[in-house]
Amino acid sequence: MYRTKTCGELRLSNMGATVTLAGWVQRSRRMGGMTFVDLRDRYGITQLVFNQDKDADLCEQANKLGREFVIQVTGIVSERSNKNAHIPTGDIEIIVAGMQVLNCAATPPFTIEDDTDGGDDIRMKYRYLDLRRHAVRANLELRHQMTAEVRNYLGGKSFIEVETPMLISSTPEGARDFVVPSRMNPGQFYALPQSPQTFKQLLMVSGFDRYFQIVKCFRDEDLRADRQPEFTQIDCEMSFVEQDDVLCMFEGMTKHLFKSIRNIELTEPFPRMTWADAMKFYGSDKPDIRFGMKIAELPAELLRGHGFAPFNSAAYVGGICAEGAAAYTRKQIDALTDFVKRPQIGAKGLIYARVEADGSLKSSVDKFYSPDELLRIKYLFGAGPGDLILIIYGDDAMKTRKQLSELRLEMGGRLGLRDKNSFACLWVVDFPLLEWSEADGRFYAMHHPFTSPKPEDVHLLDSDPGAVSANAYDMVINGVEVGGGSIRIHDSELQQRMFRLLGFTDEQALARFGFLTNAFRYGAPPHGGIAYGLDRWVSLFAGLDSIRDCIAFPKNTSGRDVMIDAPSTIDASQLEELNLSITAK
C-alpha cells in the first residue's frame, strides 16, 4: 500500500498516529537544522518535517529533494507550533521517520502553485502540470459534481442516457462542420455532430420518451472566450410535451444545480421575456438582468428639427440611464465614447446628459434643446438627480440597440452591478422562426430547421414568413446563454414546408434529411427539448472568464492543442489510403 492517508485529511484529532503519505514536493525550505517540505496531492498539502539532530541522513536526503519529486513518507502526526490557518491541514505536520523517492522530476517550467508565474502559453503546453494546481483542478472537480447532479436529477425524472454516433453527416446548427474522410468510402466524408439534434428526435420516434446525453459537439467557428471547437452539451429531449412542460422540467434542473452545487435556493419561478422585449429593452437576446438600466427609445418628434444634425437623420435614437453616475468626469465620458466607437461596437458617437442636484439636465446637446425638452428626455428615462443619461443614435434600430447593449454591460461592470456571486436566471421565449440574410437574400432558421412555428402563426408561413414566431426558448443566466431548445416539428408535411422556406429543393431536403421526414411518417410523437452548454455553465458557477479554464485539455484561440501539437500534417501514405491529395493554395 503506497499510502494510508491523503495529504488533505489529517487534523489535530489524528495526533500521534503513524501515517504514510505519497505525493509531490511542492516546495521545501531549511530553517535552523530543520527541513520543511510541503507535500501535495489532489486532496491538499501537508507539511513534512525532517530534523537534522534526530536523523541527519534522512534530513540530508530531504535536502536533495527537488520541486515536483514524487515521494512516499512515513511519520507521526504532530501539532504544529506555527499553525497555518490558510489550509485545512495547517494545525498539524508529519515528523518524518522514513522516506522513499518514487520518482525524480525535471524542474517544472513554472511554479505549480495557485499563484503561478507561468503565462497562458506555457501553461497550456504543459497542461498536465497546470492541472496539478489546485485552482485549476477545482474547476474540473466542480464540473464533475455538476454532471453527477445532472445525472441524479434527470435519472430521477425517468430520463435515460443514450449515446449517439460521432461519425455522422451534417447537422444544421448553423456552424461549419468538422469532417472526417472515410477510408472505406473513397471521396466521402463524415461530419462530426454539431449536436445530436436529429438523433434525439429519432429516439422520440422510437418511443424513448425522455432522453439525455452529456455529449461532445463540434463546431468549426471562430473562437472566443466562451467558444471551443469541441464543447460539451447536456442534451435533452422529451415526448408528449408543450413548451411549458419543458421549461418547468429544466427550471427544476437548474434550481437543483444551484442548490446542490452553489447552495443557492432559488424559490421564485424564472421570469420569462419575449425575444422582442429582450431586443427592445436590452438590445440583446441574452440580457443580463442582474441590473436594470433598460434601454429607452427617444421619439423622433422630440429630437428632430432642432439643428442637431445626427438626431435629424438617425433612424433610431436610444439610451440608458446610469444611476448615480452623474459625477463621471469628462475623461471618463471620453473613455466611454472611445469604447462605443471601437470597430467591434461601431457607434457613431455618444451623447450624455447629467441630472444635476436640482433636477435640471446638463448635456452635450444643451444648446439645441429647450430646458422643457431636456426635461422630457429625463422623464423618458425615469432619471433623477445624480444620474447620467447616455445616448446613442444610428441608421439601423437593431444595430444601435446592440451597441446600447454593449454600453449597458460596460456601465453595469463599471458600477459594480455584475457581481459574479449573484445570479439572475431568465427564459427568453417567442423567438422569430426565421432570420433574413441580406447578404444571401434568403431566410435562415433562427434556431434550427426542426423548430416548430407557433401554431397560431402557421398561416403566415407563405405570406409573411419573417413574422412567424417559433416555439423556441433560451435559458439565460447573468447574460450568458446557457441553454436553448424548442418544440419540434413532428409532422413530415410541415417539416417539408420548412425545408422549402429555407431554400432546399425537395430533392436536396430528401437527400439530407430524408431519414428524419421518413421517420415522421411512422408515427412521431409531439416532442421538444433543450441543450445546455456545460462548459459555459461550469465557468459561470466557478466565476471564470473563459470556458477554457474548466476544460481539461482546451484548444487555444487558433484552435490548436499546443500540448500535443494538433492539428498536424499526416503522412503521404495515410493520405493515399484516404484517397486524398493536398494542393497548396
Provide the binding-site residues for ligand ASP, judged by CB under 6 A. 173, 195, 197, 484-486, 529-531
Backbone phi, psi, residue 440, to 5°: -95, -10
Q: How far is the CB of 397 from ligand ASP (least distance, A)?
A: 27
Of residues 44 and 485, the one with the C-beta less far from ligand ASP: 485
Answer whether 496's CB lies under 8 Å from 513's CB. no
Q: How far is the CB of 526 from ligand ASP (least distance, A)?
A: 15
DSSP SS3 for 148: helix
Of residues 44 and 193, the one with the C-beta less far from ligand ASP: 193
Of residues 198 and 496, the one with the C-beta less far from ligand ASP: 198
Q: How far is the CB of 577 from ligand ASP (least distance, A)?
A: 33
Q: How far is the CB of 233 from ligand ASP (least distance, A)?
A: 6
Of residues 9 and 161, the one with the C-beta less far from ligand ASP: 161
Q: How far is the CB of 450 from ligand ASP (least distance, A)?
A: 7
- CA nearest 237: which of 530, 573, 556? 530
Q: How far is the CB of 262 from ligand ASP (least distance, A)?
A: 24
Which of 391-420 are b and which e, b meaning 16 or more Cβ less than 10 Å from the residue's Cβ? bbbbeebebbbbbbbbbbbbbbebeebbee
Q: How far is the CB of 178 from ligand ASP (least distance, A)?
A: 15
Of residues 221 and 396, the one with the C-beta less far from ligand ASP: 221
* 543 vs 477: CA distance, rounded Å: 12
What does the block give as the cell for 215?
A: 455529449
Answer whether 27's CB lies under 8 Å from 67's CB. yes
- Sheet with 388-394, side-by-side order of all strands: 296-297, 316-322, 388-394, 351-355, 361-363
Tell me how many degrees the CA angle 267-270-275 measures, rounded to the nearest 5. Answer: 175
Of residues 197 and 400, the one with the C-beta less far from ligand ASP: 197
DSSP SS3 for 296: strand
Q: What is the DSSP letter of 526?
A: P
Of residues 28 and 451, the one with the C-beta less far from ligand ASP: 451
Which amino acid is it at 496? Q
Pairing mode of beta strands 210-218, 296-297: unpaired
Of residues 96 and 502, the one with the C-beta less far from ligand ASP: 502
What does the block give as the cell for 110?
A: 513554472
* 491 vs 470: CA distance, rounded Å: 15
Of residues 171 and 517, the one with the C-beta less far from ligand ASP: 171
* 539 vs 551: CA distance, rounded Å: 9
Q: What would the DSSP string read from start to end of 445-502?
A: ESS-TTBPBPGGGTTHHHH-GGG-BBSEEEEEETTEEEEEEEEBP--HHHHHHHHHHT
Q: How far is the CB of 530 from ligand ASP (least distance, A)?
A: 5
Q: How far is the CB of 200 from ligand ASP (least distance, A)?
A: 7
Of residues 132 and 448, the one with the C-beta less far from ligand ASP: 448
Q: How far is the CB of 95 from ligand ASP (least distance, A)?
A: 57
Of residues 237 and 288, the one with the C-beta less far from ligand ASP: 237
Of residues 35 and 451, the one with the C-beta less far from ligand ASP: 451
Distances (CA, A) of 141 to 23, 146, 214, 551, 576: 19, 9, 16, 11, 43
State the chain's maximal CA–CA distance in angstroms: 93
Of residues 328 and 431, the one with the C-beta less far from ligand ASP: 431
* 429 vs 469: CA distance, rounded Å: 9
Residue owning grid cell 442534451? 235
219 sits in which H/E element: none
Q: How far is the CB of 182 from ligand ASP (least distance, A)?
A: 24
Sign of CA dihedral 299, 301, 302, 304: positive
Residue owning grid cell 497562458? 120
DSSP bridge pairs for 364:
none
Q: How far is the CB of 118 from ligand ASP (least distance, A)?
A: 34
Tell me how many degrees the CA angle 318-424-527 measures, rounded to the nearest 5. Answer: 100
Of residues 205 and 530, the one with the C-beta less far from ligand ASP: 530
**Length of the chain in terms of residues written:** 585
What does the block give as the cell for 219?
A: 463546431
What does the block give as the cell for 420?
A: 459574479
Q: How far is the CB of 160 from ligand ASP (least distance, A)?
A: 17
Q: How far is the CB of 479 from ligand ASP (least distance, A)?
A: 18
